[in-house]
Chains A and B, each alone.
Chain A
Amino acid sequence: MAVIRDMIPPCELFQPASIGDALNLLDQYGENSWVLAGGLDSFDWFKDRIKRPEAIVDLGGIEELSGIRADGDGLVIGPMTSLTEVATHPDIVGRFGLLAQAAEHVATPQIRNQGTLGGNLAQDTRCWYYRGGWPCYRAGGNICYASAPKAMNAEHCVFGASRCVAINPSDTAPATIALDAQMVVTNSSGETVYDAEDFFIGPGIDIERMTVMEPGDLLTAIRIPGTWAGADFYFEKIRDRQSWDFSLVTVASAMRTSGGTIQDARISVNGVAPYPMRLDEAERAVIGQAPTDDIGVAAGDIAIRRAQPLRHNAYKLPLMKNLVRRAVRAEV
């Protein structure tokens, strides 16, 4: 169990001015390094003494990692761009409003002013056993406390479990999937570009990580292609309180409709699996159809078909179904 004290325990802090310097530091300290962006998913770990890096590498001084610029008919967003900027930047609001809405729904104004898009995408799960320092599978142990018989698992997953039943808590992650975004990951041996869908991973691939990134990797850019610019978007986040709270279920969708028919669609949901899910089958069910309530209901039914709820989270099924239904119907 976590012992809460008010000081972060001693460690080194580095503030490199270039990506190269940051990568050198990450290589030098390996598993004992910690990448720091806004820090809002980091300081709790340190204060609670659950994660104790030797060296914190603060990306705040690396200019090329922040800002938004045009790239052909799309955009390139630096991972250090604040969520407030993502939520208010005219190019994002005007053409990729889905991402702006998603960023706007994160936590509180203060957290959005400081939290970054990169940090939001790369954040760890909020499973309270794990965050509380319990030695579960994800923490390198050999039990999942959240799926034990008397566990409190109302906020855990209904899809994609593999020993661990935690969810991905990011609000912006499903929006990047719906926009066909790409993540540029850089390490000392070069750059790899991942489709957003492949960037997020489940416990079946690696139970200790939420994304493909390993120690020594940096997310250096988020590319939003022009594909969905100005499309019909729908974003809805269900949470207990209208401020601060993480999502219970969130839907993000992009569609193109013409002549009363859905031509193409992306529907992504978060809060239901250890990774943001793309709903391919529901997408296929709506393409070529009119965006009616009936089609929305059908897509919702398909979306929840293989769900496996835990003891306390079956409520997520009707929520998810209705969010998918609304996303489809919103295009009328």
Chain B
Amino acid sequence: MTEVEIIRDRGPRNYSRRKFIKGVIAAGATVSASSYLFRGPGVLTAGQARGGVERLMTLTVNGQQRRVDVLPYETLAMTLRYKLGLTGTKLGCDRAECGACTVHIDGVTHYSCSMLTHQVRGREIRTIEGLESPDGELHPVQQAVMDEGGFQCAFCAPGFIMSMAAFVEDNPGASRAQCAQALSGNLCRCGDYNKILDSAERAVELMDQRA
């Protein structure tokens, strides 16, 4: 229960540990990913905010309100993976150089490794976990990737799929070249680009059929 310790040691003003735990449970964030939670002295000795940001915040992730304690200097990828258990978002380089961590903020793609969680307060965050509809129907991009067998090891897949989804949702009838341009901020180490682009083209078709 590392999480509880963090709260006890550095609880934000006016927030009891009990209230926080309740908040977390209510938001459905009971932690299946407890093995990923932050540990380590670096975090626990963090300086107290002197008038800086309030650490306890509500994030809108995949349509849900999630109450979470966020360090001032924590990246969104860290919060998603290690605090909220949303490990579908991958960390490849942690340096804005690969695209594995791509998520949507208000419908636009961003590298979650290279932004602070506090920069997205009040905005809509969407991760790979939020693509399928509540009844389990796959997003056209997910279906397209299944149809075309789009990836090899697929470590890059969540990032590519998020870039593809943002693009095809806004660009009906896009060409293969336009898809390639839209995916130019994602790298695939297996070099499976042709099949990834086949999937993108298929996703455009599926989107058009749905429209």
Contacts and interface: CB of A to CB of B under 8 A. Distances in A.
Interface of A: 6-15, 36, 38-40, 43-44, 46-47, 55-56, 58, 60, 84, 107-111, 113-114, 242-244
A14 B51 contact: yes
Main secondary structure of the interface of A (DSSP, over half): mixed
* A15, A43, A107, A110 — most chain B CB neighbours (10 Å): A110
Contacts of A84: 108
Given A15-B118, A39-B114, A108-B185, A56 B73 contact: yes
A12 B110 contact: no
A45 to B, nearest CB: 11
A267 to B, nearest CB: 28
Interface string B169-182: 00000000000011
B109 A113 contact: yes
Give the secondary structure class of B's interface: loop
Contacts of B116: 13, 36, 39, 58
Interface residues of B, number: 38
Contacts of B29: none
Contacts of B40: 7
A13 B163 contact: no
B171 to A, nearest CB: 12
Interface of B: 40, 42-43, 45-47, 49-53, 71-75, 78, 91, 94-97, 99, 102, 108-111, 114-116, 118-119, 163, 181-182, 184-185
Contacts of B94: 6, 47
A110 B96 contact: yes
21 contacts: A6-B91, A8-B73, A8-B75, A10-B46, A11-B47, A12-B47, A13-B116, A40-B96, A43-B95, A47-B94, A58-B118, A60-B119, A108-B184, A108-B185, A109-B181, A110-B96, A110-B110, A111-B96, A111-B111, A113-B110, A114-B110
Q: Top 7 closest A-B pairs, CB basis?
A: A108-B185, A13-B72, A243-B184, A8-B73, A10-B46, A110-B185, A12-B52
